Amino acid sequence: MGTLNILECIREFNPNIHRLVYACTEAIYWELTEKGRLFNELITEDMVAKYHHMPYFLTKWIGEELCMTYHHQYGVPSTVFRFTTVIEPSEYLNEDGLPKQFVFSNIYNRYKNYKGDDPAELETADAVKRLWDGQEKFILKRNLDGRPYKEHFTDVRDIVQGLVLGIEKDAAVGEEFTLGGNGIFKYEEVIPYLCERYQMDYVDVKLPQPLYFEFDLSKIKTLLDFEPQHDLASILDAAEAIRRGEDAGIIPTGVRWT
């Protein structure tokens, strides 16, 4: 209702507003009827799922539809960005200074006391407990078909760049964009890089939750001249600089509340 109220206020009281930018989510692409996130092709803006996983995802989609409806029906200059998962570097490292997304202990802690009866989960739990020797390692996660995981993330600095372009560029009006960055994490490339950077070993594990996806950013790059800047190395550099107390040009999460 909040989005609808804002749109109604714009229509009635501020019809000459410069731009309404709506923050949607990548989750509108996830299929309720499918387990995990397994896409054999790049995800484009027209691949919205028919059904959505939870009320939050559904309401984000409804909000997007409302913004586009008010654009076409009442001329509200709406722009929609579907955020991919956002990385804010100050939150990215664990207490040991390692990128927590890729450490083995997280998976071990998930499975060490597994009590379910799912055959695939039981097999994974056995494999994980056999591999755990008490020493932290990175983990090369694989799908059950053997393909290494692939995920697509975005540094918060690239999110800001996209939002500014959405406000400034006339080509953004009436359009929906996937707002993604250079955080395309192909585990067969990422894990060897991390092992070299941090001088650590890794384990190789198949997991039952399918995960293999990347977004097609052609539309936002073509219409808005969007050029994301921050890959994994850049994210880690910023995270480590913040950990040392240096100014990385990022306001860490939580600071605004103090």
Per-residue pLDDT of 160-192, as tens digits, reads 999 999 999 999 999 999 999 999 999 999 999
Q: Which CATH class is domain 3-7+15-248?
A: alpha beta
Strands 150-155 and 183-186: antiparallel
Per-residue pLDDT of the chain (258 residues; tens, 9 = 90+): 899 999 999 999 999 999 999 999 999 999 888 888 999 999 999 999 988 777 888 899 999 999 999 999 999 999 999 999 999 999 999 999 999 999 999 999 999 999 999 999 999 999 999 999 999 999 999 999 999 999 999 999 999 999 999 999 999 999 999 999 999 999 999 999 999 999 999 999 999 999 999 999 999 999 999 999 999 999 999 999 999 999 999 988 866 555
* Count of CA atoms in the C-beta half-sphere (13 A) of 221: 11
Which position has the token pair 């991919």? 84
Beta bridge partners of 38: 212
CA 138 to CA 103: how far, in whole Å? 4
Q: Where are the beta strands (DSSP E) in 4-120?
A: 20-25, 37-38, 78-83, 85-87
Q: Where are the beta strands (DSSP E) in the chain?
A: 20-25, 37-38, 78-83, 85-87, 138-142, 150-155, 175-179, 183-186, 202-206, 211-212
Contact yes or no for 156/84 (Cβ under 8 A): no
Break the chain into its structural domains and give their ranges: 3-7+15-248
